[in-house]
């Protein structure tokens, strides 16, 4: 279970979770529940494959994922911030919309009800081989992950700094706790919440892009509950980027173990439950102590 | 002092769908004065301040701040113009530190993007030191007392460079000591050249603190007077439009047999923390027992346990010698306990129900309201109409929804319902919070009427003057314990205040231990000195 290949796969499995969980943190810290992470992941995955398919450039695909994620989260923002609708209902609607729309468009574009043709993934980052043995050594250690894995890890650090060390982060956190206070100080609650939700769309969209580009194709409903697991990781990590990273790595590890165990003597159905059971166990273990932003879910 | 007024509002009109909250209101606050705005609830004080601060736009009128015209402004513009508001409900983020709350929205920066935490801390420390606030910038708001929270609000305003401060009902949540300290601070602020607008309905405070007073009634200005040239009685008359009995006259209590006995009562809160520890007291028929204390010291939980809304962890509650510990609220009501709950909108009324339905609630399953499992709407309406007449409820319409009643009338509705069933024990929790002088008068007289009719009354109030006026005996709660017991009239507000902060009785632990005894000791026959702690 601790073979290198499992740990390696754990990090890859964790990457979309990390992006989505960071997204969830920005949204929920601003006071907007974002259960739509699931749908945003799926939309990001789909958009990235479409653009990569037509341009042949996975980086363009990744940007498309970010853009699509922001676009669909804009719906969530408008519905729940401007029209003050129930945020859970809006999120569920977006998830259903994303599921149906991506499947429908897959059929329109590629004539398949299940998946897209394969597309190119991202080239791994590394030093030029011509630099000699040292470059090859470095590449062997850190060079065999897709670039988005590093970007995910860097995003965690950036998110932590933004949330806790910048005026924007302070305002965002205050908005999720006590929007009236923020309003009376002349800071726009609406603007802060839009920022939180759109950032969340961008990050989760990028997570979706990684998910698809890492498997080199779009498969229908390929988010497979990862948005919800990311939400769990966010709660598990107490709405802190670093904490969420730890939880994502744990869930990623569970998923990798699950994949490693498939084909062995354990019945697949049980093996496939591992990440979800772990999610529930983790939540039950900490839910009493985790304190969500006080004004979460309340329209202002 | 500069020549012109600090604030000048002319002809401010603000209409809401059902009411005109401000009707051509003029307000002029001179530079460097403490100006009180008084009025009953719904008189339009808060609306006027919201308009001034830019939270609500006025329909008509002109606002000038230090001579500069403010038009279609938002709070940000008001802040920039030097206006600062300390809101009635504090606008503080519990999970952030003092310093973070102060700088929020106007953060000192380092390298353009990061918060300069050191600069923030220094600014808070220097402002705090200047006025003797004793605030620790790194402390989280959730660990602060209400009095300290208010100071954070004041620092917030000063940090933004405000020289005109508006304080909306600043003393409602403070102990007498904290009020004194606040007044010292406000005078110091005035002496440093700032202008202070002080909204209140406590007339003592107006007379003590203010230079000038604007009185509002029904959305209009009823008068502007010099505080030194007026009296409480005159202000009350201007506020209400008629003579008001400021002090209820009450006869000496004639206590009968014991109605409520609470023995060794304990209860635990959500996190397993003990919220009531060893509470002992009794109330006899025909007397009012007042419980004083800063909110959150177990009074709420005590009332909940007595009325069956919360389970006791230990100890017993007896009503007329019947053990009612941990019985259901309905059983307890049926045994003759009436309850005027602390939060009238959450627990006292169903806001979407009519007056008639709210009056039937609690006895809706019995005759005359109900027969063969069917509600008898006519009987409900008829009875409601009677109670409306008896209690002068407005509107005089049994079918009006409770949510459209004013706060005072909502409270009168609850009192009318609860007193209607001739209880042997009446539990009244904050019965006059947020209601106007007229309704306060009504509630106080109803409470004493119940007492004189032979009911035992348990009165919980954060309003010390209310306890002092009504209670025959007083106990003080702090930290879930009874820390002192007195006979009514044998103690001053200041003395009570000392015990309310837990400072009385020389140290928390000692006070805690003797609490039970003190509670029992305070029987009506004791006179003179407070029978408090060692």
Residues of B in contact with A180 (CB under 8 A): 89, 91
Same domain for B216 and B259, yes or no, is no
Taking each helix axis from N to C terminus, what angle separates B377-391 and B407-420, rounded to the nearest 10 degrees? 110
Pairwise CB contact (< 8 Å): B91 & A294: no
Which residues of chain B make contact with A184, given a CB cutoff of 8 A?
53, 55, 75, 85, 87, 91
- Residue B91 to chain A, least CA–CA distance (Å): 4
CA closest to B113 among chain A residues = A166
Same-domain check for residues B137 and B205: yes
Whether residues A170 and B115 touch (CB distance < 8 A) is answered with: yes
Q: Which two tokens stand for residue A134?
A: 């040292």
Per CB-CB distance under 8 Å, the chain A contacts of B115 are: 165-167, 170
Residues B432 and B471 in one domain: yes
Picking from B94, B95, B105, the nearest residue to A171 by CB comes out as B105
Contact flag B114-A166 (C-beta cutoff 8 Å): yes
For β-strands B60-65 and B220-226, DSSP reports them as: unpaired
Query: A-chain residues within 8 Å CB-CB of B101?
Result: 174, 181
**Residue A165: which of B76, B96, B114 has the nearest Cβ?**
B114
What stretches of B70-140 show up as alpha helix (H) in DSSP? 75-80, 98-103, 117-130
Considering the domain architecture, whether residues B449 and B358 belong to the same structural domain is answered as no
Query: Dihedral of CA A13/A19/A22/A24: which sign?
Result: negative
Neighbours of B250 (CB within 10 A): 18
Contact A180 B115 (CB under 8 A): no
Q: Touching check for A128 and chain B: CB below 8 Å?
A: no
Most confident range (mean pLDDT) of A165-169, B56-60, B90-94, B181-185 is A165-169
Average pLDDT, chain B: 85
Distance CA A164, CA A26 (A): 12
ipTM for the complex shown: 0.87
Chain B residues in contact with A177 by the CB 8 A cut-off are 93-96
A184:B94 CB<8 A: no
Q: What is the dihedral of CA B75, B81, B83, B87, to 10 degrees?
A: 10
CB-CB neighbours of B449 under 10 Å: 11
Q: Which of B95, B97, B153 to mutate to test the interface with A (most CBs of A within 10 A)?
A: B95
Mean pLDDT across the stretch B379-398? 88
CATH number for position B170 = 3.40.50.300
How many Å lie between the alpha carbon of B13 and the closest alpha carbon of chain A? 22
**Is B110 near chain A, with CB under 8 Å?**
no
* Interface check B85 vs A, CB under 8 A: yes
Cβ-based contacts of A186 with chain B (< 8 Å): 74-77, 79, 105
Shared domain check, B427 and B402: no
Q: Is B489 left (phi over 0), alpha (psi -120 to 50) or beta?
A: left
Rounded mean pLDDT, B1-21: 82
For residue B51, give its domain range.
7-240
Residue in B476, B415, B474 with CA at minimum distance from that of residue B440: B415
- How confident is the model at residue B218, as a pLDDT? 84
Percent of chain B at pLDDT exceeding 90: 48
Residue A105 to residue B489: CA distance in whole angstroms: 81
Confidence grade of residue B519 (pLDDT, cut at 50, 70, 90) = very low
Domain boundary (B422, B453, B478) is at: B422
pLDDT exceeds cutoff 50 at B507: no
Same-domain check for residues B250 and B310: yes
User: Mind listing the pLDDT tens digit of every residue in chain A (300 residues)?
Assistant: 556 677 788 888 999 999 999 999 999 999 999 999 999 999 999 999 999 999 999 999 999 999 999 999 999 999 999 999 999 999 999 999 999 999 999 999 999 888 899 998 888 777 777 777 777 777 776 667 888 999 999 999 999 999 999 999 999 999 999 999 998 888 999 999 999 999 999 999 999 999 999 999 999 999 989 999 999 999 989 999 999 999 999 889 888 888 778 777 778 788 888 877 877 787 777 655 678 888 888 888
Interface test with B, best of A160, A172, A186 (most B CBs within 10 A): A186
Return the pLDDT at B3.
62
| Alpha carbon of B133: minimum distance to chain A alpha carbons (Å) | 21
- The more confident residue out of A63 and B3 is A63
Average confidence (pLDDT) over B62-74: 89
Shortest alpha-carbon distance between residue B425 and chain A (Å): 38
**Cβ atoms within 10 A of the Cβ of A285, count?**
11
* Residue finishing a domain among B178, B206, B240: B240
Task: Give the count of Cβ contacts less than 8 A between chain A and B.
Answer: 70
Q: Do B105 and A182 touch (CB under 8 A)?
A: yes
Position B180 scores a pLDDT of 87
HSE of A176 in the Cβ direction (CA atoms, 13 Å)? 28
Is B104's CB within 8 Å of A187's CB? yes
Please confirm whether the linkage preceding B516 is cis (ω < 30° from 0): no
B277-308 pLDDT tens trace:
999 999 999 999 999 988 778 999 999 999 99
Q: Are the beta carbons of A166 and B55 separated by less than 8 Å?
A: no
Co-location of B177 and B249 in the same domain: no
Residues of A in contact with B103 (CB under 8 A): 170
Cβ–Cβ contact B92 with A under 8 A: yes
* Nearest-CB residue to B115 (from A167, A177, A187): A167
Q: Does A292 touch chain B (CB under 8 A)?
A: no
Is the confidence at residue B273, as pLDDT, over 90?
no
Q: CB of B205 within 8 A of CB of B179? A: yes
B96 interfacial to chain A (CB closer than 8 Å): yes
Domains of chain A, residue spans: 4-121+137-286
Same domain, B318 and B192: no
Query: What pTM was estimated for this model as a whole?
Result: 0.76
Structure tokens at B152: 């954070």
pLDDT digits (tens, 9 = 90+) for B346-386: 888 998 899 999 999 888 888 888 888 888 888 999 999 99
> Chain A: nearest CA to B487, how far in angstroms?
42
A170 interfacial to chain B (CB closer than 8 Å): yes
Q: Indicate the SS3 state at residue B370.
A: strand
What is the fold of A4-121+137-286? Answer: ABC transporter involved in vitamin B12 uptake, BtuC (1.10.3470)
Highest-pLDDT range among A82-96, B201-215, B225-239, B406-420: A82-96
Q: Give the residue from chain A lying closest to B102, CA to CA.
A: A185
What pLDDT does residue A80 have? 94
Phi-psi region of A106 (alpha: psi -120 to 50; beta: other; left: phi over 0): alpha
* Cis before A215? omega within 30: no
What pLDDT does B12 receive? 94
Contacts of B111 (CB under 8 A, 6+ apart): none
The set of residues, in sequence order, having a beta carbon less than 8 Å from that of B123 and lying 6+ positions away, is B102, B103, B108, B159
Identify all chain B residues contacting A183, using CB atoms and an 8 Å cutoff: 55, 75
Nearest CA in chain A to B91: A181
What pLDDT is attached to residue B533?
38
Quote the CA–CA distance of B356 and B250 in Å, as a whole number. 32
Per-residue confidence band for B248, with pLDDT thresholds at 50, 70 and 90: low
| Overall average pLDDT of the B205-232 stretch | 91
A199 in B contact zone (CB under 8 Å): no
Count of structural domains within chain B: 3
Give the closest-approach CA distance of A229 to chain B in angstroms: 26
Contact A184 B74 (CB under 8 A): no
Report yes or no on B158 lying in a domain: yes
Cβ distance A184 to B87 less than 8 Å, yes or no, reads: yes
Higher pLDDT: B17 or B347? It is B347
Q: Do A178 and B91 touch (CB under 8 A)?
A: yes
Picking from B369, B390, B422, the residue at the C-terminal end of a domain is B422
- How many angstroms away from the CA of B388 is the closest CA of chain A? 37
Interface of A with B in 23-82 (CB under 8 A): none
pLDDT at B515: 38
Contact between A170 and B92 using a beta-carbon 8 Å cutoff: no
A167:B107 CB<8 A: yes
């Amino acid at each position: 279970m601790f073979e290198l290949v499992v740990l390696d796969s754990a990090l890859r499995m964790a990457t979309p979770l990390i992006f989505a969980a960071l997204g969830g943190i920005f949204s929920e810290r601003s006071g907007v529940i974002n259960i739509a992470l699931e749908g945003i992941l799926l939309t990001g995955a789909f958009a990235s494959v479409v653009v990569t398919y037509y341009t042949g450039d996975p980086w363009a695909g990744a940007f498309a994922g970010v853009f699509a994620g922001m676009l669909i989260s804009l719906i969530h923002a408008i519905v729940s911030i401007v029209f003050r609708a129930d945020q859970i209902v809006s999120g569920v609607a977006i998830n259903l919309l994303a599921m149906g729309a991506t499947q429908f468009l897959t059929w329109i574009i590629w004539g398949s009800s299940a998946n897209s043709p394969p597309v190119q993934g991202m080239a791994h980052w590394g030093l030029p081989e011509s630099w000699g043995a040292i470059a090859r050594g470095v590449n062997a250690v850190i060079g065999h992950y897709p670039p988005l894995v590093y970007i995910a890890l860097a995003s965690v650090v950036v998110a932590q700094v933004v949330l806790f060390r910048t005026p924007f982060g302070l305002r965002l956190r205050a908005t999720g706790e006590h929007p009236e206070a923020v309003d009376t100080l002349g800071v726009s609650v609406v603007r802060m919440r839009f920022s939180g939700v759109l950032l969340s769309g961008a990050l989760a969209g990028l997570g979706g892009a990684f998910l698809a580009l890492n498997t080199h194709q779009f498969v229908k409903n390929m988010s497979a509950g990862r948005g919800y697991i990311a939400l769990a990781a966010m709660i598990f990590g107490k709405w802190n980027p670093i904490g969420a990273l730890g939880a994502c790595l744990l869930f990623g590890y569970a998923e990798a173990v699950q994949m490693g165990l498939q084909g062995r003597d354990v019945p697949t159905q049980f093996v496939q439950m591992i990440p979800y059971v772990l999610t529930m166990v983790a939540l039950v273990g900490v839910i009493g102590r985790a304190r969500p932003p006080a004004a979460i879910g309340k329209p202002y | 002092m500069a020549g012109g007024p600090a604030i000048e509002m002319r002809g401010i009109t603000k209409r809401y769908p059902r009411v005109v909250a401000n009707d051509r209101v003029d307000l002029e606050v001179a530079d460097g004065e403490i100006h009180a705005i008084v009025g009953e609830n719904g008189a339009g004080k808060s609306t006027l301040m919201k308009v001034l601060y830019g939270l609500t736009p006025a329909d008509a009128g002109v606002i000038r701040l230090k001579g500069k015209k403010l038009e279609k402004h938002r709070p940000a513009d008001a802040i920039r113009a030097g206006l600062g508001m300390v809101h009635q409900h504090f606008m503080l983020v519990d999970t952030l530190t003092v310093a973070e709350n102060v700088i929020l929205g106007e953060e000192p920066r380092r390298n353009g993007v990061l918060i300069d935490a050191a600069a923030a801390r220094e600014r808070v420390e220097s402002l705090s030191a200047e006025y003797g606030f004793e605030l620790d910038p790194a402390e989280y708001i959730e660990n602060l007392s209400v009095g300290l929270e208010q100071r954070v609000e004041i620092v917030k305003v000063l940090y933004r460079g405000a020289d005109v401060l508006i304080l909306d009902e600043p003393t409602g949540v403070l102990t007498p000591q904290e009020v004194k300290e606040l007044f010292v601070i406000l005078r110091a602020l005035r002496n440093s050249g700032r202008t202070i607008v002080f909204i209140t309905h406590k007339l003592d405070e107006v007379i003590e603190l203010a230079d000038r007073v604007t009185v509002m009634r029904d959305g209009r200005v009823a008068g502007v007077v010099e505080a030194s040239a007026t009296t409480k009685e005159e202000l009350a008359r201007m506020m209400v439009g008629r003579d008001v009995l400021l002090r209820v006259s009450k006869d000496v209590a004639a206590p009968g047999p014991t109605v409520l006995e609470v023995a060794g009562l304990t209860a635990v809160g959500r996190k397993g923390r003990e919220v009531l520890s060893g509470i002992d007291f009794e109330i006899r028929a025909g007397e009012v027992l007042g419980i004083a204390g800063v909110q959150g010291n177990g009074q709420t939980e005590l009332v909940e346990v007595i009325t069956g809304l919360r389970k006791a962890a230990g100890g017993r509650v007896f009503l007329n010698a019947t053990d009612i510990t941990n019985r259901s609220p309905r059983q307890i009501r049926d045994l003759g306990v009436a309850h005027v709950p602390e939060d009238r909108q959450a627990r006292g009324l169903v806001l979407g129900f009519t007056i008639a339905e709210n009056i039937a609630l609690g006895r809706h399953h019995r005759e005359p309201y109900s027969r063969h499992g069917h509600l008898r709407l006519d009987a409900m309406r008829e009875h409601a109409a009677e109670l409306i007449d008896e209690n002068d409820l407005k509107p005089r319409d049994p079918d009006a929804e409770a949510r459209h009643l004013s706060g005072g009338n909502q409270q009168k509705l609850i009192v009318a319902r609860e007193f209607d069933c001739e209880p042997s024990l009446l539990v009244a929790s904050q019965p006059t919070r947020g209601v106007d002088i007229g309704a306060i008068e009504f509630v106080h007289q109803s409470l004493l009427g119940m007492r004189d009719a032979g009911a035992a009354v348990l009165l919980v109030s954060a309003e010390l003057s209310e306890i002092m006026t009504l209670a025959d005996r007083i106990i003080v709660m702090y930290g879930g314990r009874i820390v002192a017991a007195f006979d009514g009239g044998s103690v001053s507000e200041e003395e009570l205040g000392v015990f309310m902060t837990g400072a009385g009785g020389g140290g928390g632990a000692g006070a805690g231990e003797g609490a039970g005894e003190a509670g029992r000791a305070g029987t009506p026959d004791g006179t003179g000195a407070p029978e408090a702690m060692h």
